[in-house]
Amino acid sequence: ANSTLRPQELEFIYEISSAVAGAENTDSVLEEIIQLARQVFIFDNIVIYRPNHDSQLEPVHPKAIGRGRFLEADLVWGESIAQKAYTEEETIVYVEDLTDSIPDRTGIRHYLGFPLIITGADIIGSLVFIRFGGPPYTESQVRLAKYFSENIALLLEHQNLVNRIASLEAEHRLEMLRDDFTSTISHELLT
């Protein structure tokens, strides 16, 4: 297998890295890098799953981009692939053939699932790409998609840290207000 990156793929890697490094708004950066990924390899649906307060995975960023998006009520989001990538903490490549019941190209579904892991930390979710009809994902596309998923994990962890800092700053301000209030009341009671 040829592992040399094409110029378009190198540009993709650079643009993804730049977008994630300069991220201020997670949602807009997610939209930007999803569009970048679509230029390098074809997928029809992409879904980011995160665990909720009960540790159950739920889709937090589902996006239908290509074939099959007109099937609004029957959109395929790859829940079982997301769960498997999440629990096994490994890349999942799976093909589902439903052409007996779905005669068009949306009956053949190519799934590509990744765990979202921060180096040295816990798993924070999973990412699933879905391609209807084919062709199968190539080794090169799987590697690029893995790089993409690693950057999504970094972006989401960045957002977690920003939220945690904001929470700590709010707690600190509240503590300062409490101290000021206590000092003021103590002073008033003593005078």
Give me the CATH number covering residue 103. 3.30.450.40
The token pair at 126 is 């999973």
Give me the mean pLDDT over the 173-177 stretch: 82
**Is the confidence at residue 90, as pLDDT, over 90?**
yes
- The range of the structural domain enclosing residue 162 comes to 7-190
Q: 69 falls in which pLDDT band (50, 70, 90)?
A: low
Q: How many domains does the chain have?
A: 1
In a domain? residue 136: yes
At residue 188, the 3 state secondary structure works out as helix
* pLDDT tens, position by position, 93-108: 998 877 777 777 777 8
**Is the confidence at residue 109, as pLDDT, over 60?**
yes
Say which DSSP state 149 is in.
Answer: H
Spatial contact of 97 and 131, defined as CB atoms under 8 Å apart: no
**Is the confidence at residue 3, as pLDDT, over 70?**
no
Sequence-distant (≥ 6) Cβ neighbours of residue 58 within 8 angstroms: 49, 50, 51, 52
In a domain? residue 1: no
In a domain? residue 88: yes
Sequence-distant (≥ 6) Cβ neighbours of residue 52 within 8 angstroms: 58
Spatial contact of 170 and 36, defined as CB atoms under 8 Å apart: no
Instruction: State if pTM tops 0.85.
Output: no
Q: 112 falls in which pLDDT band (50, 70, 90)?
A: very high
Give me the mean pLDDT over the 40-54 stretch: 89
